[in-house]
Amino acid sequence: MNSSASPQIAPPNHRLKNALSILYWSTGLVVLVESCLFVFSASRGHAFANSGLPHLIRPILGGAEIIAALLFLVPPARTIGGYALLVIFALAALIHILHGQPDVSGLVIYAAAVYTVLAAHKS
């Protein structure tokens, strides 16, 4: 196999930068809004009360997620906020799985989006 047969990776172009920017802002804003709803919404509070999870989980995990999402949305703090979100998503997924709620697909998608933004930002 010669080197000319291997796939070439194109340098980032304007469309790719726009797509990453859209992914960055949409992920950060959606996570921020969902976190605020998780912590402050009365209907989500009632649903959480029926989940069987300890009551302290909601303000601690949700508050940490709000702070991490805000940091993620501030460009100089993007990396710190992004890695914090990845840790929070992993903890949230673990808590869900341990409490018999195995559908963590939303958390996986959020984590993949955050990781993609972080990887693109580092390159």
* Tens-digit pLDDT profile for residues 9-23: 655 588 899 999 999
pLDDT top residue among 36 and 8: 36
pLDDT per position as a tens digit, 73-96: 999 999 999 999 999 999 999 988
Q: Could you tell me the CA-to-CA distances from 25 to 62, 72, 93, 99 in Å, in that order?
A: 19, 9, 23, 31
**C-alpha span between 80 and 92 (Å, rounded):** 18
* Sequence-ordered list of residues with C-beta below 8 angstroms from that of 43, at least 6 positions apart, any chain: none
User: What was the pLDDT predicted at 4?
Assistant: 57
Q: Say what the pTM is.
A: 0.84
